[in-house]
């Protein structure tokens, strides 16, 4: 048995067989062919192209059915590559003139094709390299008679082991068959982790060597709460974990899913809402009793596709969420492109430090065409009356003013076109950059609400890349610097009579939910499966206790002291309920 320690990314236990999605090395050997073999090799090329086309069309149909048009569209560009006459002619010419085997001719032509594209000024064409690489791997697998790993076609229950998964890959996995995620890279708040947590799938990330140490078919236990992975565990350990899994399943049932408000025992009422990325999470949000959407990460509509979504397409998506969430409110965040949301699909140039680079509101202000299309769609959906708009990565009031100016332009245009929208739509600033936290008094005067994005606020204030497993030990939500920033943002917001929420992962973690309840946070937004537990916690405590404990916690010296202190105090308050509410 082998025991691997990684980062506890998404709680729970998964027991099952591994499916390793390693980085595939597909090399085409070079062999000389005779003149007579030329037509045979060309025939093999045609056959491989036809089969690949079929494979992609089937995949596209399945994704269209399961996840909708946006995700299915990704494959349009793949199909175009297979029909590119210039490319196909080049391969045939190589087979004919150089008398080489089709695999070799194919990989040489593809290489030439990619090199040419990479030299072009046109960003769109450069971006097609990813599609070409993807499709060429599919064709090469056919020629080399290697099996294709079809993620959406996984038909038995497995634990996915991968170097990394892009957010759009994660989104296309058949959730019902995924017992867990194990990855070499990533951190507690990298976006793949966030999706795993949203879907309630146990995950351990940042293992560095998982894809080397684990083979497909090996038995695994993923302990997403402790960050442990057992490879080929002994029967005794499997039994022990199976027992824990049964207990967890039973404990989860004792957590009451409530549609009622989250009210503490001394009658402080707060809002517990959901973060959503994919359309299917909307029903999860309802199921788990979320009181609205506190963060709609709209960038997922933009990911993994060639063309930008149109205003109409976005409008339909936003309207759908707004209607389904009524009477609760929906906070639509404008696109937060950049950071780790382009791991496998760069639509912006590769940057040295993507988290500090051309991301979120910076991207939108530089591309008013993209921004305006989205804002118009949001405004049109606001006719439902429950839509709020929020800007990510605001680093100072200048950006907020610019964003609001563009929003005003969109309002004017729509009015001119006689299109209805909510003229009083609330505008929120995300507080996730330390400079915004420190100038919260200025931002509060020009915002209708704040939402604290702790995932980023932690990484920027502690200088710790949120997706880097090597520095994950420093990524501490309980660090006094983080707590002081959060407390002061909440205080300043209230002094300026605006409400303040938190949509970073921290608000769904019971210890920190209790702490921030004590800081007087108004709204807690989290992955849907977290909602029932946080509501249950809030219902079982007193606001006055949380306040007194938070006041002491914020004065402690280290994150560890903070966590231990809150844990000890909560144990005293919850007694027998502590394990049930906190430890699943």
Closer of 231 and 295 to ligand PEP (Cβ): 295
Beta-strand pair 228-231/2-5: antiparallel
Least distance (Å) from Mg ion to the CB of residue 340?
10
Least distance (Å) from Mg ion to the CB of residue 295?
9
Q: Dihedrals φ, ψ of 477, to 5°? A: -60, -25
Show contacts of 48-55: CB within 8 Å, 24+ apart: 48/102, 48/139, 48/142, 48/143, 49/82, 49/88, 49/139, 51/142, 52/82, 52/135, 52/138, 52/139, 52/142, 53/79, 53/82, 55/138, 55/148, 55/150
Contacts of 437 (CB under 8 A, 6+ apart): 431, 457, 461, 485, 486, 488, 489
Supply 477's token pair.
């939500």
Of 188-207, which residues contact ligand PEP (CB under 6 A)? 189
Closer of 18 and 271 to ligand PEP (Cβ): 271
CA distance 570 to 582: 10
Q: Is 465 in the site for ligand PEP (CB under 6 A)?
A: no
From the list 37, 55, 26, 60, the residue with the least C-alpha distance to 143 is 26
Least distance (Å) from ligand PEP to the CB of residue 297?
5
User: Considering only 59-67, 154-162, 403-411, 447-455, which stretch makes contact with ligand PEP by CB under 6 A?
Assistant: 447-455
Catalytic hit among 71, 191, 345, 479: 191
Out of 180, 338, 453, 501, which residue is the one contacting ligand PEP (CB under 6 A)? Answer: 453
Closer of 295 and 549 to ligand PEP (Cβ): 295
User: Considering only 19-27, 46-54, 234-242, 449-457, which stretch makes contact with ligand PEP by CB under 6 A?
Assistant: 449-457
Out of 336, 469, 509, 545, which residue is the one contacting ligand PEP (CB under 6 A)? Answer: 336
**What are the beta bridge partners of residue 160?**
19, 181
Query: Site for ligand PEP (CB under 6 A): how many residues?
Result: 11
Query: Which of ligand PEP, Mg ion, none lies near 454, with the C-beta cut-off 5 to 8 A by kind?
Result: ligand PEP
Tallying the residues shown for the chain, one arrives at 584
Closer of 41 and 456 to ligand PEP (Cβ): 456
DSSP 506: G
Closer of 167 and 233 to ligand PEP (Cβ): 167
Q: Is 456 in the site for ligand PEP (CB under 6 A)?
A: yes
Out of 295, 335, 337, 582, which residue is the one contacting ligand PEP (CB under 6 A)? Answer: 295
Q: Is 516 in the site for ligand PEP (CB under 6 A)?
A: no
Q: Is 504 in the site for ligand PEP (CB under 6 A)?
A: yes
Least distance (Å) from ligand PEP to the CB of residue 505?
7
Closer of 182 and 361 to Mg ion (Cβ): 361
User: Considering only 104-112, 453-461, 549-557, 558-566, which stretch makes contact with ligand PEP by CB under 6 A?
Assistant: 453-461
Of 162-191, which residues contact ligand PEP (CB under 6 A)? 189
503 is catalytic: yes
CA distance 291 to 273: 5
Supply 367's token pair.
């591309």
Supply 527's token pair.
């992955």
Query: Which of ligand PEP, Mg ion, none lies near 100, with the C-beta cut-off 5 to 8 A by kind?
Result: none
Supply 282's token pair.
């909307």
Q: Dihedrals φ, ψ of 564, to 5°? A: -65, -45
185: left (phi over 0), alpha (psi -120 to 50) or beta: beta
Closer of 504 and 518 to ligand PEP (Cβ): 504
Query: Which of ligand PEP, Mg ion, none lies near 507, with the C-beta cut-off 5 to 8 A by kind?
Result: none
From the list 72, 152, 136, the residue with the least C-alpha distance to 104 is 136
Beta-strand pair 523-526/269-276: parallel
Helix, strand and coil in the chain, % to nearest 5: 55, 15, 30
Closer of 101 and 525 to Mg ion (Cβ): 525
Catalytic hit among 78, 345, 410, 503: 503
Least distance (Å) from ligand PEP to the CB of residue 502?
8
Burial of 35 (0-12, 13-18, 19+ CB in 10 A): exposed
Least distance (Å) from ligand PEP to the CB of residue 341?
8
DSSP 32: B
Least distance (Å) from ligand PEP to the CB of residue 545?
27
Q: Is 397 in the site for ligand PEP (CB under 6 A)?
A: no
Identify the H or E element spanning 38: helix 38-67
Which of the residues are catalytic? 191, 503
Where do contacts with ligand PEP occur on this chain (CB under 6 A)?
A: 189, 295, 297, 336, 432, 453-456, 503-504
């Amino acid at each position: 048995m082998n025991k691997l320690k990684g980062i506890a990314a998404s709680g729970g236990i998964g027991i099952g067989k591994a499916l390793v999605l390693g980085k595939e090395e597909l090399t085409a050997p070079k062999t000389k062919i005779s003149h007579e073999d030329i037509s045979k090799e060309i025939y093999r090329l045609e056959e491989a192209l036809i089969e690949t086309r079929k494979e992609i069309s089937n995949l596209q149909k399945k994704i269209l059915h399961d996840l909708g048009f946006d995700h299915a569209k990704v494959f349009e560009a793949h199909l175009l590559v297979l029909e590119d006459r210039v490319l196909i002619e080049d391969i045939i010419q190589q087979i004919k003139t150089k008398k080489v085997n089709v695999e070799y001719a194919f990989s040489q032509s593809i290489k030439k094709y990619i090199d040419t594209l990479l030299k072009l000024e046109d960003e769109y064409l450069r971006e097609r390299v990813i599609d070409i690489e993807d499709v060429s791997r599919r064709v090469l697998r056919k020629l080399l008679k290697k099996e294709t790993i079809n993620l959406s076609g996984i038909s038995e229950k497995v634990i996915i082991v991968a170097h990394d998964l892009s957010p759009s890959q994660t989104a296309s996995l058949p959730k019902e068959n995924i017992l867990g995620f194990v990855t070499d890279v990533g951190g507690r708040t990298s976006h793949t982790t966030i999706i795993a947590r949203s879907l309630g799938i146990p995950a351990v990330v940042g293992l560095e060597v998982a894809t080397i140490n684990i083979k497909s078919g090996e038995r695994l236990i993923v302990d997403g709460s402790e960050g442990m992975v057992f490879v080929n565990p002994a029967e005794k350990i499997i039994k022990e974990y199976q027992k824990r899994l049964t207990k967890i399943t039973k404990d989860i049932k004792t957590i009451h899913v409530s549609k009622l408000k989250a009210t503490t025992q001394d009658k402080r009422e707060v809002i517990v809402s959901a973060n959503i990325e994919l359309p299917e999470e909307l029903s999860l949000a309802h199921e788990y009793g979320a009181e609205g959407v506190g963060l709609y990460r709209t960038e997922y509509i933009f990911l993994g596709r060639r063309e930008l979504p149109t205003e109409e397409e976005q409008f339909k998506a936003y309207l759908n969420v707004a209607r389904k969430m009524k009477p609760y409110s929906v906070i639509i965040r404008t696109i937060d492109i950049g950071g780790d949301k382009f791991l496998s699909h760069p639509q912006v140039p590769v940057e040295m430090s993507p988290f500090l680079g051309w991301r979120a509101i910076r991207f939108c202000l530089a591309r008013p065409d993209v921004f305006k299309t989205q804002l118009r769609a949001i405004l049109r959906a606001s006719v439902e009356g429950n839509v709020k708009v929020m800007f990510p990565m605001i680093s100072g009031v200048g950006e907020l003013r610019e964003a609001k100016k563009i929003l005003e332009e969109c309002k004017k245009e729509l009015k001119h076109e006689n299109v209805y929208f909510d003229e009083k739509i609330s505008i929120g600033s995300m507080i996730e950059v330390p400079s915004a936290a420190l100038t919260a008094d200025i931002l509060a005067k020009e915002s209708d609400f704040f939402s604290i994005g702790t995932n980023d606020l932690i990484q920027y204030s502690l200088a710790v890349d949120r997706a880097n497993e090597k520095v994950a030990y420093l990524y501490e939500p309980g660090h006094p610097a983080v707590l002081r920033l959060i407390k002061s943002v909440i205080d300043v917001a209230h002094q300026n009579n605006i409400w303040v929420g938190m949509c970073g992962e921290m608000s769904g973690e019971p210890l920190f939910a209790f702490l921030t309840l004590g800081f007087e946070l108004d709204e807690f937004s989290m992955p849907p499966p977290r909602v029932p537990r946080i509501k249950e916690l809030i219902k079982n405590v007193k606001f006055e206790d949380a306040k007194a404990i938070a006041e002491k916690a914020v004065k402690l010296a280290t994150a560890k002291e903070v966590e231990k202190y809150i844990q000890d105090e909560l144990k005293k308050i919850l007694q027998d309920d502590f394990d049930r509410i906190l430890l699943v």
